[in-house]
Structure 1
Amino acid sequence: MSSKNVLKWSIDDKPVKVDKWDGTALKNSLDDSAKKVLVDKMGFVESHHLMDGRLIICTIAIAFAIFALVWDYLKPFPNSRPILIICVLAYFFLIGILTLYTSYREKGIFLVALDRDAAGVDPDNVWTISSYVKKYDDMYHLVIDYKDGKKGSERTANFKHSVAKFFDDNGVLAYDIYEQELKLLINSLMSEKKEK
């Protein structure tokens, strides 16, 4: 095998194969494929602000836990009791905030993509994609929210299909079929934008 062939091959050349009975794996592979379409193929820029919020909350919670550990090492238990109580309460409070953040702010959103203005003058258009699969169900729900950066208007489109439409009997993702469905949804939002 020559070095030219090695450099041309990429992980994208391999088809995605998952256990067809694992609903979480099916959902995650479809989510990753949607991310690939918007970011790699359509050229949108992924925004990490939503995930950064989660990371900040987790970092603060871990800082309290580490501080409690160090304090207890420096001043063994009877002397460290008030600090340990404060740190443990703060840690559980922050975990509660994290739970609320993931439940009510993230809401299953796996991608926030920015469609940058070519001139760099107008604000970015924001595409937010979320999905869910109910437990013991084969229906994949995908929701795309579009916010026009210039006008501030918002539109939503969604589809609901069985995962069997996108995977064959061996659990291999039919990427072309999924990409076509996703692009139809995105184009419907873009055509609404042009009509208005």
Structure 2
Amino acid sequence: MGRSSSSKNEETKQDDSNDEEEEEELELLQVDVGDVIKLKQILDETTSAAVLEFQKEDFRLDNMKLAIMTLACLFACLAQFAPIPFPDSRPVLGICCCIYFVLSGVLQAIVTFLDKDCILITKPTDARAQKSNPNLHQYGIRVRTDLPRFSEYYKVILEFEKMPNTVKVVQTWSVGNFFDVDGYFDEIGMTEAVQGLYKRLEKGEYDKDEDVATPPEGSAKSKKE
């Protein structure tokens, strides 16, 4: 009897802890649906996580941006803390400021012309592990997203990085498919939707430009149901 009562108590405690974990998770995944920046951040993070279940991230471009930022900060520190009294330090200050602004310009150019709407770049897969689509082990995947201002439609584009005239798969969803009126986020549903898009890329079921269009209201929701 003592054992059975203790086991029941343990089960009750375990159920309570599971309920608390679920409540905490819901709190973490709630967002103000009027905050478009936060909304897109959550969608982008979920999209990246869904793709990374199949691929490994390529950090080279991010590392290059970090190196440029670090170098710019070093020149800023040199200008600030150089052990040369003013006004003798004017040439050093001028050189450091010029280099800082040049590096900042290079960084901004990378963000504007290379990153664009890209949120993730992956490495090519191992040819032995991926045989269904040869492009996957020849090129990495470039994940692009878009959520226009005042629009309810979130677009995800999967294409091949550095592939000339790259083929791609595109899908557009209404954010209402994954957020309710209180701002609670259906992470599982979003993950499954993005993984379904990835499977299309894996099978080589590419979209043509004329096939890519914003679905009418309710169409994406009906597919989900």
Q: TM-score, normalised by structure 1?
A: 0.79
**Contact kept? 2:51, 2:198, Cα under 8 Å:** no
Report the equivalent of 2:125: 116
Matches within 5 A, 1:54-133: 54-71=65-82, 74-117=83-126, 119=128, 123=137, 125-133=139-147
Report deviation, 1:177: 2.4
What is the rounded CA distance, in whole Å, between the counterparts of 2:66 and 2:34 in structure 1? Answer: 31
Report deviation, 1:146: 2.8
Cα 1:32/1:10, change in 2 over 3 Å: farther
Are 1:38 and 2:62 an aligned pair? no
Matches within 5 A, 1:1-196: 14-15=25-26, 16-39=29-52, 41-42=53-54, 44-71=55-82, 74-117=83-126, 119=128, 123=137, 125-146=139-160, 154-192=166-204
CA RMSD of aligned residues (A): 3.1
> Please, which runs of 5 or more residues in structure 2 have no aligned partner?
1-8, 206-225
SS in 2 for 1:46: coil
Q: TM-score, normalised by structure 2?
A: 0.70
What amino acid is the match of 2:125?
A: R
What is the rounded CA distance, in whole Å, between the counterparts of 1:64 and 1:182 in structure 2? Answer: 42
What is the rounded CA distance, in whole Å, between the counterparts of 1:76 and 1:162 in structure 2? Answer: 60
Cα 1:112/1:100, change in 2 over 3 Å: same
- Report Cα offsets for 1:32-87 as digits up to 9, x if no partner: 11122122x33x2112112112111111111110111121xx11220000110111
What amino acid is the match of 1:127?
A: I
**Contact kept? 2:51, 2:194, Cα under 8 Å:** no
What amino acid is the match of 2:154?
A: Y
What is the rounded CA distance, in whole Å, between the counterparts of 1:86 and 1:148 in structure 2? Answer: 36
Report deviation, 1:181: 2.1
Structure number with larger C-alpha Rg: 2
Report deviation, 1:111: 1.2
Deviant stretches of 4+, over 6 Å: none
Identity of aligned residues (%): 24
More strand by share: 1
